[in-house]
Structure 1
Amino acid sequence: MSEFYEGLAEILEVDAAVINSAFDLHSGEAAWDSLAVVSTMALVDEVFNVMVDGQSLGKCATVADIEALVDAAKKA
């Protein structure tokens, strides 16, 4: 999971130390916008070898929500 967290921190332009399952994607410190969603889709594909839906990903509020999408995609 650390490779994913590090990549997500880079996408969101925050320190990797603050990324965890409870991290709020809509907090003032995160840059969760359409570019971040597309970049996260590519990161998920690279790290977990699954594709997630962009609209569903854009609705995620926390990193745990992204992790749930990834888990669902793995089971599909």
Structure 2
Amino acid sequence: MENFYAELAEVLEIDPATVGPDMALAEHNWDSLAIVSTIAIVDEIFNVTLDGSALGKCEKVSDIEALIEKAKA
């Protein structure tokens, strides 16, 4: 997840050290552009495609991680 956290931090324009499972996405630049960028990052790192509407409902980073695990199954 380290690579994912670093890439997500870049998208959200925050310090990578602040990204973790309990981080609230709404407190940062979690908008449609960030969602599309996150879909691309997840595809590149994990080789799975996430649904944009499901990703948009995520409140914490752990919610994104759960979507990734579900997509990998």
Q: By the TM > 0.5 criterion, same fold?
A: yes
TM-score normalized with structure 2 length: 0.99
TM-score normalized with structure 1 length: 0.95
Question: Match of 2:67?
Answer: 69
After TM superposition, give the deviation of residue 46 of structure 1 in Å. Answer: 0.4
Matched, 1:52 2:50: yes
Cα displacement string for residues 20-73 of structure 1 (whole angstroms, at most 9, x for unaligned residues): 00000001xx10000000000000000100000000001100000000000000
* Structure showing the higher helix proportion among its residues: 2
What stretches of structure 1 of length at least 5 have no aligned partner?
none
User: Structure 1 vs Structure 2: percent identity of aligned residues?
Assistant: 55
The number of residues matched between the two structures is 73
- Root mean square deviation, CA, Å: 0.4
Cα displacement string for residues 4-33 of structure 1 (whole angstroms, at most 9, x for unaligned residues): 000000001110000000000001xx1000
What stretches of structure 2 of length at least 5 have no aligned partner?
none
Query: Which segments of structure 1 move beyond 2 Å, counting only runs of 4 or more?
Result: none
Supply the distance in 2 between the matched residues of 1:5 and 1:47 (Cα, whole angstroms): 11
Supply the distance in 1 between the matched residues of 2:59 and 2:65 (Cα, whole angstroms): 11
